[in-house]
Amino acid sequence: MNPWALYDDLIDGIPAGVMVRDYQANPIWTWVEAGDGTVGVAMTLNIRSRPGSRSSLVGRPLREAALLVRSWNLVESSIGVAAINAWYNNMERADACGNRLPQSGAFDVHRPRITGKKVAVIGHFPSIESRLEEAGELTIIERNPRRGDYIDSAAEYLLPEQDAVFITGSTLVNKTLPRLLDLARGAYVVLTGPSTPLSPALYDWGVDGLSGLIISQPNVLKDGLRGAGNGAPKDAGTLVDYVRGAPIGQ
């Protein structure tokens, strides 16, 4: 499997004529605004061990910004994912993902699928233990593990055993998503978090559910991320959930 092909599928869906209006990489969240006003966000992974470009992206094609997802300077890669989301995470375009669920919040809407099952979560989400208390067995895999978590290298051994897997969208930034999806091929997989592109192309890679964020108030987002950048993107948008195929329970 060519892991870059997943990224290419996402980039290929962005039209050539869309430009970057503005962007910023803050300490926690990165945002990119497209020419049509749609804003995408991604978690900032502040790893700059590889050199980055000094050129501004303002006025450049959105596809060019999206190509930064290939960078091993992970701040640039964060910009690339935000640029991808600046195209897909628009309410009209996101509906190409199929069945939008009436509720929102991946750990709530997918509860019928995880009750009594073996469930793994990539990323230690807030209060995740209580949010998935119906799981028969819960495994949390985290790059910076807390007490009780598994280190991220455990994914190689644990994901093939799971019934359901929730994966943080920030794995697109650090390039681990293609491998995680390969390991979780036998499970029901949900990609979740503000970094998640709402693109049906991800269904072809083994994703069953998409839980992402559509920014409806760009100015609220920008104001919230100024300075130390401690604002919460969800305060400026709407969480939406899609599933491939028939909705849950049908």
Residue 202 has pLDDT above 80, yes or no: yes
Q: What is the pLDDT of residues 78-103, one digit of tens each?
A: 999 999 999 999 999 999 999 899 87
* DSSP H/E element including 30: strand 29-34
d(CA 25, CA 32): 9
Residue 20 has pLDDT above 60, yes or no: yes
| Location of structure tokens 């195929």 | 245
For the chain, which domains are there?
4-93 (3.30.390.100), 95-217+233-243 (3.40.50.11590)
Other C-beta atoms within 10 Å of 3: how many? 14
Maximum distance among all alpha carbons in the chain? 51
In 54-205, where do the E strands start and end? 99-100, 118-122, 137-142, 150-151, 164-168, 188-192
